[in-house]
Amino acid sequence: MTSLEKVEKVLNHIKSCSPGQDEFYQAVHEVLYSLLPLLKEDSRYFDYNILHRIVMPERTIIFRVTWLDDNGKIQTNLGYRVQFSSTLGPFKGGLRFHPSVNLGIIKFLGFEQIFKNSLTGLGIGGGKGGSNFDPKGKSENEIMKFCQAFMSELYRHIGKHTDIPAGDIGVGSKEIGYLFGEYKKINNEFDGILTGKGVNWGGSKGRKEATGYGSVYFAENWLNANEDSIKDKICAVSGSGNVATYTIEKLYDMGAKPVTCSDSKGTIYHKAGIDLATLKAVKEINKQSLEAYAVLHPDSKYIPTSAYPKDGHAVWHIPCDVAFPSATQNELTLVDAKALVKNGCKLINEGANMPTTPEALEFIQQNDILFSPGKAANAGGVATSQLEMSQNASMEQWSFEEVDIKLRQIMRNIFNIAYDTAKEFDHAGDLITGANIAGFRKVADSMIEQGAV
């Protein structure tokens, strides 16, 4: 059997034993195919059955979360924690609270997290969790009640040497606070079992900003390698949550001009440049739709989803030099990729996890445009989470500047390893291949060293 046939066999196997998990198949498909140059030259990965093992979570926990809403009614949601790989360290990865969450989505995120965490060069395994709970339209009290109910089951599966969750979509410092409080109450222990904590009670300075800042540092490295820089670039950013907001903040800091942001209801195009203070006030503080931004800035344009191009997203049809998809999976389609290329975009830098569809990726690879895969470009968040764990373990708190210097260095290292590995396998400039092989090789070699477990 050829390497390709063996890869196809693994893919068919996961489809038959875990039906209906499209996002998970998508993530596995992308990673496994890009490993072919490595698999062809090193048969050990087949001899030790690494592919079949690595696509299977070490442990999958699904649980019921029951809580009381403000009317005293009993509500129920599903909770998940997929502990994918502890080869390089304790399971590590975020929690997502969004109505679209299901096992396939948590598995795709957990699978990506294995290789992302490996690329950081830090000792962290991969995992992900969350719930189909929708925080939108819930009162503060209901969010707190839900978080407490979620932790009343999750607590028995996590620990500072076992599994350390953090935030993701719908889970920010507020939710982490409620989750932490409940864990502490149950265990009677003040422990670093979550990251993204408040800076007054064990959180790291710079963690909130880290994913967005890191994404821009990654883009800068990629542009520098092409004798260019982010300075003066017109940038299209999607999303308006944690990653998008701090991407926009860092873009201004480095002399670029972000002109867009978006949410689940629409897109803002502000040619003069997104007003960061308004964006934070509308989304972070008031939790409004971006329509409110356009009211405050009549020179900006609001495009509701009903006016999006067919099979596309308005944000990618606005001319830009660099695109930062920073909202969610599959938010940049073939139609969008064609518009970006047509408008002369130089770089697509993934801040979100798997925002680009497979068809869009294929088109991008056939065209003269730089691409940064999310598992490399958005790794600054989880890397800074590990810096938080390190501070918790030593009972220290580092300054914002210290954390930022380390983050910049980590992003440079990730870029270098993805870039050099692509070259090593005759795929110069293809950071998808470079990041996947580099991330995989370290985990797979370590699995071989740790035996059949």
Question: Which residues carry out catalysis?
Answer: 128
Q: Which amino acid is at 102?
A: N
Q: Does 192 bind ligand NDP (CB under 6 A)?
A: no
Binds ligand NDP by CB under 6 A, chosen from 202, 203, 239, 439: 239
Taking alpha carbons only, the member of 410, 374, 403 closest to residue 389 is: 403
Report the residue number, 131 or 385, with the smaller CB distance to ligand 2IT: 385
Q: In what order do the strands lie in the sheet with 234-237?
A: 257-258, 234-237, 322-324, 347-349, 370-372
* Contact characters 79-98, ligand 2IT, x per CB under 6 A: -------------xxx----
Report the residue number, 154 or 166, with the smaller CB distance to ligand 2IT: 166
Q: Evaluate whether 108 touches 100 at the Cβ level (below 8 Å).
A: no
* Contact characters 291-310, ligand 2IT, x per CB under 6 A: --------------------
Backbone angles phi, psi at 171, to 5 degrees: -125, 105
Rounded Cα gap, residues 349 and 192, in angstroms: 31
Q: Does 166 bind ligand 2IT (CB under 6 A)?
A: yes
Q: Evaluate whether 275 touches 297 at the Cβ level (below 8 Å).
A: yes
Q: How far is the CB of 165 from ligand NDP (least distance, A)?
A: 12
Binds ligand NDP by CB under 6 A, chosen from 90, 167, 203, 439: 167
Taking alpha carbons only, the member of 213, 320, 211, 308 closest to residue 263 is: 308
Letter string b/e over residues 11-38, b meaning 16 or more CB atoms within 10 A of that residue's CB: beebeeebeebebbbbbbbbbbbbbbbb
- Residue 120 binds what, of ligand NDP, ligand 2IT, none (CB under 5 to 8 Å, by partner type)? none
Rounded Cα gap, residues 290 and 130, in angstroms: 25
Report the residue number, 10 or 322, with the smaller CB distance to ligand NDP: 322
The H or E element containing residue 445 is: helix 431-450
* Contact characters 260-299, ligand NDP, x per CB under 6 A: ---xxx----------------------------------
Q: In terms of DSSP H, where are the helices of 72-139?
A: 103-119
Report the residue number, 130 or 434, with the smaller CB distance to ligand 2IT: 130
Q: Evaluate whether 350 touches 356 at the Cβ level (below 8 Å).
A: yes
Rounded Cα gap, residues 412 and 406, in angstroms: 10
Binds ligand 2IT by CB under 6 A, chosen from 83, 85, 120, 195: 195
Report the residue number, 156 or 287, with the smaller CB distance to ligand NDP: 287
DSSP reduced 3-state for 367: coil
Binds ligand NDP by CB under 6 A, chosen from 38, 194, 352, 435: 352
* Contact characters 328-367, ligand 2IT, x per CB under 6 A: -------------------------x--------------
Q: What does the binding site for ligand NDP look like in residue numbers (CB under 6 A)?
A: 100, 167-170, 211, 239-244, 263-265, 326-328, 351-353, 378, 381
